[in-house]
Amino acid sequence: MVLRLMDNSLSFILRLWRVTQIFARKFRLRFNRSLTFGKAQEESPKSVVPLSVNYHFTRQCNYSCGFCFHTALTSFVLPIEKAKLGLKLLSDAGMIKVNFSGGEPFLHQRGIFLGELVKYCKEELYLDSVTVVTNGSRVTRKWFEDYGTYLDIMAVSCDSFDEEVNEKIGRHAKGKSHLDSLRRIRAWCREYQVLFKLNTVVNTYNVGENMCEQVQELQPCRWKVFQCLSIDEENQGQNALRQVEPFLITSDQFQSFLKRHESVSTLVPESNLAMRNSYFILDEFMRFLDNTSGCKKPSPSILDVGVKEALKFSGFDEQMFFKRGGKYNWSKSDANLEW
């Protein structure tokens, strides 16, 4: 009996020690990030800290959306240890939120590569928010079982609640229903306590649609509504893999769409002006992409020159980032929700 009590006490002490070490490490990392931010502001009030970064680690996709502005120009994906190194550099530079996107991020290694990065960012870097944007076609329950606990938000892109419209846009995979995938993921997000977000690109095929009822039924924590955007060499120009012209709408058309959906409380609009330079976009080589001139000009890779030097070539508009609501309640631990 005494030995059993001693074993139980020792086991409890070891668990308590591990938990203490985890919290100490988490505090240390966050304290170091705050020091980085303070130091940057002291050195120059205009210094930019990459609070939120979109890492497009792959350009490959199984959909063929006609307006896609991050196309399959390469098939390159960094080895996972180098990707983790880059994420650590960004965390040390002040990043507290990362969004994994593509391409379709669930294609590479059937989502395992993505899952391991999500887990690393929560378990090792203790980021406030780890999010994913997906078309939903390759997401599985098994992935949620393995990695859902580390994910704050899963965003699914859906441009119409009419399957035929999605097919005309190119947002579909042969033999699969995009809307079925969307609703299945919504249910898994509830089951595995992951915040659900919806992304919609407003274009000529869906600009007249009324989605209020369907969006309110899904209850996303945010509904991001983007005006279809043109970017040279991605979806515009002689050498582009997509041609966006047939999909473009006017600002008045976009505002009309927003007016029709003003009853949806979680709607967050992004016009071309708000969207173009207000994101830190990191490509498959871990280069920031500067879109100030209408095409994506890559910086040197953060793996080669470090984050501080690469940021000089990011073209980031910090004022617009905050103006469009880029900083929001993005951690599921802070969300006041009944799962």
Report the catalytic residues: 61, 65, 68
Residue 202: strand, helix, or coil? strand
d(CA 287, CA 297): 9
**Residues 287/299, Cβ–Cβ less than 8 Å:** yes
Residue with tokens 């309110």, as numbered in its chain? 216
d(CA 29, CA 111): 27
The residue type found at 324 is: R
Burial class from Cβ neighbours inside 10 Å (0-12, 13-18, 19+) for residue 303 reads middle
- The percent helix, strand, coil of the chain (3-state, each to 5) is 40, 15, 40
Nearest to 134 by CA among 94, 104, 114: 104
The pair of three-digit structure tokens given for residue 208, joined into one six-digit string: 């007249």
Residue with tokens 């977000």, as numbered in its chain? 197
> What is residue 295's DSSP assignment?
B
> What is residue 333's DSSP assignment?
T
